[in-house]
Every structure is written in structure tokens, then in C-alpha cells.
Amino acid sequence: MRLSEALPEDLILCDIKARTKRGALAAIIRRLVKCGKAAGEEALAEAVLGREKLQSTGIGGGIAVPHGVVKTARSLSCAMGISRRGIKYGSIDGQPVHLIVLFVSSKTRDVHYLSLLASVCRIFDSKRLRREVVAAESPQEVLQLIRAEEARECQLPGGLPA
């Protein structure tokens, strides 16, 4: 599964103003609930923050991939928050996070989640793409950049089929 297929425009928050991990995650969770992807903002926040207590999901390079499992999730859902200023997140490289891709599911073992997580890691391995997404002015532009990177990835030797 490609990130562009799982990430709707209404779940992309450009230029989150929150300066903390908790604040940024709260904004993204609020949007997921508002868009009907899960019920119970509190339970979802508890699941995501509980996972963060085990180990930060800041994977380095300005990226975080938090996730939570809640029974109220309608299906596997994905949302993105972008911070131009950066968020102190406790990432493994100690650097601020600019891109947060949050996953929510009702199942603890979801093969689509692993596929999406791999997709995020692959496409955002590109520093150029990370810079362009952080600078993007709209959710439409973010998705356009992601789709272009996915298409480029498929054209590389050993790339994934379209």
C-alpha cells in the first residue's frame, strides 16, 4: 500500500503551530476524530502517548511515525502533521521533528500498517522530498509531492511495481 493511497487531503495538517510532541500529536488526533476515522479523542491520545512512553517513534531525519491501536478506529487510518519550525520530539538522532505520520488501527497486527510504514520510510529517505513537503503550502501540494516520489521510486531498478 502506498502512502498516497492511505493519506487523504483532509488528514494533512500543514504547518502545525505546536512546539511539543504532546501538542502536535493532540492536533493530529483531533483531526482524525473530527474526520470520523476514530471515536474517543482521549482513548486515542492515551494509546498513542502510551506507545511513545515505551520508546520515541522519532526515527531520525526529522520524521516521526507514531501509532496507536484503539477499538474505535474505523480501519487503518493515516494522518500527517507538518511543522516548519520543528518539534522537540526525543528522536533517536536528537534532532527536531518536522514530519509526523500518525497511524491508527483497530488491530494490533495489520499487514497494511507494516506496508504503509515501509512506504513512509522509503519515500522520506529522500532529504529533497522532506524539504519540499515541509515547505509545501497545501495538503494538495503535499500529496502531489508524495505521488511524484512514489512514481520516481517505481522507475528505479528494484523499485516497487506501480
- pLDDT computed for residue 28 by the predictor: 97
Query: pLDDT tens digits for 90-127?
Result: 999 999 999 999 999 887 666 778 888 888 999 999 99
| pLDDT higher than threshold 80 for residue 150 | yes
Mark 86-110 as b/e (b = at least 16 C-beta within 10 Å).
Answer: ebebebeeeeebbbbbbbbbeeeeb
Task: Report whether CATH 3.30.70.270 matches the domain 10-155.
Answer: no
- Nearest 5°: CA angle at 6, between 101 and 53? 30
Query: pLDDT tens digits for 38-90?
Result: 888 999 999 999 999 999 999 999 999 999 888 878 788 899 999 999 999 99
Domain ranges, ordered by start, for the chain: 10-155
Query: pLDDT tens digits for 6-38?
Result: 999 999 999 899 999 999 999 999 999 999 988
Whether the CB-CB separation of 110 and 76 falls below 8 Å is answered with yes
| pLDDT higher than threshold 70 for residue 158 | no
Which pLDDT band, with edges at 50, 70 and 90, does 159 fall under? low
| pLDDT higher than threshold 90 for residue 153 | no
